[in-house]
Amino acid sequence: MRYVGHSVPAQDGWEKVTGSATYAADLSLPDMLHGKIIFSPYSHARIEAIDTREAEGVTGVRNIITDETLLSQSVACLRNVRLYGQSIRDRPILAHKRVRFAGEPVAIVVAEDEGAARDAARRVEIQYTAIPAVSDISSALKGDVLIHEHEPGYEITRPDIVPDFSRNVCGYSCFEEGEPERAFDESEFVVRDKFYFPSLFHYPMEPHCAVGVVDRHSMTVYSSTQAPFQVRDELAHIFGIEPDQVRVVVSFVGGGFGAKGFIAIEPLAVAASAVTGAPVMIRLSQEETAYTTRRHPAEIEIRSGLNREGMLVCREATIYLDTGAYADFGPLVTRKAAFRSAGPYRLKHARAQCYAVYTNKLPSGAFRGIGSVQTAWACEAHTEHICMELGLDAVEFRLKNLLRTGERYVFGGPPLDGDPYNVLKTCVDRYERLRTRDAVPGSFDSKSWKFGSGVACTIKDVSTSPYEAAIEAQMDGRFLVLANTPEIGGGARTVLVQIAAEVLGVPLDSIRIAPADTAVTPPTSGVFGSRITVLMGGAVKQAAEELKEIVLNQAAKRSGYKKEILSIVDGQIVGPERVLFSVADLVKQGTEKLIAKGVCLPREDTGPIDICTWEINAGLASVGVDTESGLVSLRCYVSAADVGKAVHPMKCEGQEEGSVMFGIGNTFVEEQQFENGVLVNASPIDYCVPKFKDLPKIIDCVLIENEDGPGPFGSKGMAEGGLAPVAPAVAAAIRSASGILVDSLPITPEKVLRSLSQRVGSKDSKSK
């Protein structure tokens, strides 16, 4: 193939390198105003009074908007502003008489410039009365303090979401196969564990930004979102208008990782524009962005039963997710977390339950690999504990129990289109070839340092939904791809151009992609979930195939040749012996518009959570552990991913390396810290993320290509799976080096020392 399978130049490379790429914050409209949000400092409180008199005196201030302001407006779209939410519509755009988390928007100051808005925001005086709050899962489940009323009457967006507000539970999911209780009773060995996963910030390079423009009959929003049509539909719901009255436009997006997968500040920009009658930009700082959403912290209890031969018989997981003050994606994450908790193993009996629990902390939402990273940590660390308890070789145990291609996952879905056994074996074999580079230097003679390696193997489903695209042949001979795919940094638009050019038989530079604009492009759910290459790529491929047929039919009519003997090569119509004419000439002289549409629909056997393919990954970590200080040094990491077909190998490797870097942060340094429900390390100075110095000396990513995926040319989703094995592989390596197994993230020197101390104490007590 000419383009697919090659690392062609990025479509947006020149714009990004030269600085000409435009983001939402670069937008400047005539008479545009700027908004500054005032956030609650309390995790749970009543709003007693808001005094704006001093703030109104600041030069340049146009308006100060509160919930009461919205209720008094005569503007049509503000007369009945509704609650919103991805799963349960439980959240107001501005706090109404009560705040439920520290960081909840209470008011907006709108001024002629951002400095005046910021100055005035400091002068707004808000009186609060603190009320009892719950900031942990166990306290919330008691129901002594209700974060939402017992029967609040909220709109629920899906029939499978059944909240229990009396226990602060907004979502519950359960999957069961076989007879797990009987299987546990009959098991020769049963191993139990409990693991903790922390609250994490997405930390996209670009903070949230939105510009709202409202006129009498419509609204336009310029946003840094991953999901333009979801934003459009939810804005239409909030303001009580039709979706076709809302237009969402997206330029470049500086990373999202799920943080920009739903509504954030867009309703506030719209409301501010409606009140003032002018365009309003709201741009958050990185610190303010930390209050918008996060990854669900989790407490996970897991047990497994094994027979005498060391084969897994059954597994059970009970998962509690801290979803924060509003449901957001919580009920949907429960389904993903519960479903994915069994791991990539051959099981006949399994049960998984997951609860999303309201607390008075900032809301949790979608985050790269929703639910899978938490459960993979618990599942694979638990698998390592099994091997530790029973004296089994960790690699051999996994290879013996892993699913193979064509087998079915215990909780359902289509047959596996990848081979966990082969992925893990490939990972281990690659490390064996690197082992000499990972050797400990002879000069390294400190007796306190111990060395070891460990593995993890994970599985993640890739969800499906309809994706649409269209391609139009233009008068200049180029082709315009209409695909609502914001470029968030992963290179999706480059891959779509490769697919279109490969099918059409035209040069890459003859393909353009229209900006993500809900007024122009067909509707799709957004850029997330490792599915753009598979699903949007599938729609683009189908549109390209259809358009190619149309072009060749037109060429056949003009040339007199049969269509079957014509082809398109480098934008030229080629006959039996020579080039006949260019596609550009054909389009210019034609009388009808040449356009074709493609739709990638879900497969029939999607299983209980709408699966189109599987992400299968393995990781091997090599570490050094200083038993005196507790320091852990990650020396080498090998990542293996079954990608089906790497449409753009360099971008696939970049995605995999980026996933590993994410995983290193999760494993060693990242954790949002709260005091009485208040986030205390929101600033970029206080919230630690991995740096280049934290990378191992050796990092190697292996792309396994069997061209057996459902996407174009056999491709599969691969943007998230590499993250999941990192933490459990590191934990397994620490166990190999020092004999301890850490049960909570991040793995800090203090936790390592504590575990080492407990292990020594346990040995001493046994010897006595």
Give pLDDT tens digits for 182-241: 999 999 999 999 999 999 999 999 999 999 999 988 999 999 999 999 999 999 999 999
Structure tokens at 687: 């919230």
Q: Does residue 520 contact residue 488 with C-beta atoms inside 8 Å?
A: no
- HEC string of 331-345? HHHHHHHHHHCCCCE
Indicate the Cα dihedral angle 549, 552, 554, 556, nearest 10°. Answer: -130
Give pLDDT tens digits for 83-127: 999 999 999 999 999 999 999 999 999 999 999 999 999 999 999
Cross-sheet strand order for the sheet of 98-99: 98-99, 45-51, 125-130
* CA 61/CA 362 separation, integer angstroms: 29
pLDDT band at 590 (very low <50, low <70, confident <90, very high): confident
Report the pLDDT value the prediction gives residue 295, as an integer from 0 to 100.
98
* CA 78/CA 70 separation, integer angstroms: 6
Q: Does residue 104 contact residue 325 with C-beta atoms inside 8 Å?
A: yes
Give pLDDT tens digits for 400-427: 999 999 999 999 999 999 999 999 999 9
* CA 284/CA 39 separation, integer angstroms: 12
* CA 347/CA 339 separation, integer angstroms: 13
* CA 736/CA 456 separation, integer angstroms: 13
pLDDT band at 762 (very low <50, low <70, confident <90, very high): low
* CA 269/CA 94 separation, integer angstroms: 12
Measured in degrees and rounded to the nearest 5, phi and psi for residue 480 equal: -105, 120
* Average pLDDT, integer, range 745-764: 86
Does residue 547 sit in helix, strand or coil? helix
Measured in degrees and rounded to the nearest 5, phi and psi for residue 512 equal: -120, 150
**Contacts by 213-217, CB closer than 8 A, 24 or more apart:** 213/29, 213/273, 213/279, 214/75, 214/77, 214/270, 214/273, 214/274, 214/277, 216/76, 217/245
Contacts of residue 757, Cβ cutoff 8 Å, sequence gap at least 6: none
Report the pLDDT value the prediction gives residue 766, as an integer from 0 to 100.
46
Report the pLDDT value the prediction gives residue 635, as an integer from 0 to 100.
96
Does residue 484 sit in helix, strand or coil? coil
Structure tokens at 365: 């939402």
User: Which range is least confidently modeled, 41-50, 65-74, 176-185, 399-408?
Assistant: 65-74
CA distances in angstroms from 620 to 404, 418, 638, 695, listed in the order given? 20, 19, 5, 14
Q: Which amino acid is at 731?
A: A
Q: Does residue 69 contact residue 120 with C-beta atoms inside 8 Å?
A: no
Structure tokens at 380: 């694979």
Assign residue 491 a region (left: φ > 0; alpha: ψ between -120 and 50; beta: otherwise).
Answer: left
* Average pLDDT, integer, range 347-373: 98
Structure tokens at 262: 């739903």
Q: How many residues does the chain have?
A: 768
* Average pLDDT, integer, range 366-381: 98
Structure tokens at 522: 């067909």
pLDDT band at 677 (very low <50, low <70, confident <90, very high): very high
- Alpha helices for 576-696 (secondary structure H): 583-589, 649-668
Q: Do β-strands 698-704 and 632-642 pair in parallel, antiparallel, or remain unpaired?
A: parallel
Report the pLDDT value the prediction gives residue 296, as an integer from 0 to 100.
99
Report the pLDDT value the prediction gives residue 66, as an integer from 0 to 100.
96
pLDDT surpassing 90 at residue 540: yes
Report the pLDDT value the prediction gives residue 320, as an integer from 0 to 100.
99
Tell me which residue has tokens 């919580």: 330
Give pLDDT tens digits for 309-351: 999 999 999 999 999 999 999 999 999 999 999 999 999 999 9
Report the pLDDT value the prediction gives residue 72, as an integer from 0 to 100.
86
pLDDT surpassing 60 at residue 159: yes
DSSP state of 603: P
Output the average pLDDT for the chain.
95
Report the pLDDT value the prediction gives residue 2, as an integer from 0 to 100.
95
Structure tokens at 366: 């979608």
Contacts of residue 497, Cβ cutoff 8 Å, sequence gap at least 6: 11, 481, 508, 511, 513
Give pLDDT tens digits for 725-743: 999 999 999 999 999 999 9
Q: How many CB atoms lie within 10 A of CB 574?
A: 17
- Alpha helices for 533-578 (secondary structure H): 537-559
Taking each continuous run of H as one helix and of E as one strand, the counts in the chain are 19, 31
pLDDT surpassing 90 at residue 384: yes
Q: Does residue 470 contact residue 599 with C-beta atoms inside 8 Å?
A: no
* CA 356/CA 371 separation, integer angstroms: 11
Report the pLDDT value the prediction gives residue 763, as an integer from 0 to 100.
53
* CA 165/CA 251 separation, integer angstroms: 40
H or E segment and range at residue 154: none
Measured in degrees and rounded to the nearest 5, phi and psi for residue 196 equal: -125, 135
Maximum distance among all alpha carbons in the chain? 97
Structure tokens at 613: 């393919």
* CA 410/CA 345 separation, integer angstroms: 8
pLDDT band at 765 (very low <50, low <70, confident <90, very high): very low
* CA 655/CA 86 separation, integer angstroms: 27
Q: Does residue 398 contact residue 310 with C-beta atoms inside 8 Å?
A: no
Report the pLDDT value the prediction gives residue 443, as an integer from 0 to 100.
59
Bridge partner list, 320? 299, 355
- Alpha helices for 391-531 (secondary structure H): 394-401, 420-434, 492-504
Alpha carbon 352 to its chain's center = 22
User: Residue 85 burial by CB count (10 A; 0-12/13-18/19+): exposed, middle or buried?
Assistant: buried
Q: Does residue 496 contact residue 535 with C-beta atoms inside 8 Å?
A: no
Does residue 667 sit in helix, strand or coil? helix
* Average pLDDT, integer, range 146-169: 95
pLDDT surpassing 90 at residue 587: no
Output the pTM of the full model: 0.96
DSSP state of 25: G
pLDDT surpassing 70 at residue 442: no
Domains assigned to the chain: 23-131+203-289 (3.90.1170.50), 134-200+294-392 (3.30.365.10), 418-459+609-768 (3.30.365.10), 465-601 (3.30.365.10)
Contacts of residue 423, Cβ cutoff 8 Å, sequence gap at least 6: 457, 616, 617, 618, 640, 641, 642, 704
pLDDT surpassing 80 at residue 760: no
* CA 706/CA 714 separation, integer angstroms: 8
Alpha carbon 480 to its chain's center = 28
Measured in degrees and rounded to the nearest 5, phi and psi for residue 299 equal: -115, 125
Structure tokens at 79: 């007369």
Report the pLDDT value the prediction gives residue 761, as an integer from 0 to 100.
59
Alpha carbon 158 to its chain's center = 21
pLDDT surpassing 80 at residue 444: no
pLDDT band at 768 (very low <50, low <70, confident <90, very high): very low
* Average pLDDT, integer, range 53-66: 98
Contacts of residue 579, Cβ cutoff 8 Å, sequence gap at least 6: 569, 572, 573
Question: What percent of the chain shows pLDDT beyond 70?
Answer: 98
Q: Does residue 512 contact residue 669 with C-beta atoms inside 8 Å?
A: no
Report the pLDDT value the prediction gives residue 767, as an integer from 0 to 100.
40
* CA 302/CA 726 separation, integer angstroms: 19
Is the link from the previous residue into 746 a cis peptide, with omega within 30 of 0? yes
